[in-house]
Structure 1
Amino acid sequence: MRVVYGIPQCDKVRKARKWLDEQQLAYQFHDYKQSGVDVALLKSWIDRFGWEQVINRRGTNWRRLPEAQRQAMGAEAALLAAIDNPSLIKRPILMDGELCLLGFDIDAWQDALL
């Protein structure tokens, strides 16, 4: 089953969900704020893509972290930080079997899903 992970207030998540609806592609939505994030799944994303890709380092949640924490960030620290604050995770993330797409790039999503 196709699953979109994110938070409903995020503009990119809203665009991705709207696009999926327009393409009539079924999916489940997993809200990090309400349901949290599965540690094993988060670890698999970090292992697959690297923490630098999984953690949204452009957002306000990243900038709110103490400078020392940002400077010392590595895979394990990123995992722990994202568990404590799922808003640090890049959004949306789409999973469909072995397929995993980070962020909403309409061209990449079209190539992968249509």
Structure 2
Amino acid sequence: MILYGLKTCDTCRKALKSLEKAEFRDVRAEGLPKDLAQAALAQFGDALLNRKSTTWRALPDDDRSRDPLALLTDHPTLMKRPLIDDGGTLYLGWGADTQAALLG
């Protein structure tokens, strides 16, 4: 299981604490693998972009209309966090549904 997020994100820290065997990857430092980004975008659509973030609010209007994959490549902090890859099954966020699926 791989958890993609930011080391400074409180939600990612909570998820990591609960998922003791998860491997953590910081998207700010390492980026998001292109194939994973494409799969996540196909599964979650626009929900993959965190439009409430300060990064999003700071983007000029013309950047906001760019391709989501290009935006995530240039600004990995725009990704809603965490993105969890559990052997090919993807989960987005750390809500009750994700917790129930991964913690039982």
Q: TM-score, normalised by structure 1?
A: 0.83
Where does structure 2 lack aligned partners over 5 or more consecutive residues? none
Cα distance change, pair 110–36 in 1 and its aligned pair in 2 (3 A): closer
- Alignment equivalent of 2:47, drawn from 53, 62, 75: 53
Deviation per residue, 1:2-21 (Å, 9 max, x gap): 11000100111111112223
Q: 1:103 aligns to what?
A: 93
Tell me how many residue pairs correspond in the alignment: 103
Q: What SS class does the counterpart of residue 16 from structure 1 fall into?
A: helix
Q: 2:59 aligns with which of 61, 65, 70?
A: 65
Q: What 5-or-longer segments of structure 1 have no aligned partner?
A: none
> For residue 6 of structure 1, what is the aligned residue in structure 2?
5
SS at match of 1:104: coil
Instruction: Say which SS state the counterpart of residue 11 (structure 2) adopts.
Output: helix
How far apart, in 2, do the equivalents of 1:43 and 1:5 lie? 14
Aligned equivalents of 1:110 and 1:45: distance in 2? 18
Identity of aligned residues (%): 36
Is the alpha carbon distance of 1:97 and 1:59 closer, same or farther for their aligned partners in structure 2, counting shifts above 3 Å? same
Output the CA distance in 1 between the equivalents of 2:59 and 2:68: 11
Q: Please list the CA deviations of residues 16-63 of structure 1 after superposition, one character each: whole Å capped at 9, or x if unmatched.
A: 112223xxxx1110111221111111011111111x110000100100
Deviations along 1:86-114, one digit per CA (max 9) or x if unpaired, are: 00011001110232111111x21332122
SS state at 1:95 partner:
strand
> Max radius of gyration: which structure?
1
Residue 82 of structure 1: how far off its partner (Å) = 0.5
Q: Does the aligned pair in 1 maintain the 2:50–2:56 contact within 8 Å?
A: yes
TM-score by length of 2: 0.90
CA distance in 1, matches of 2:27, 2:52: 18
Aligned residue for 2:19, secondary structure, equals helix
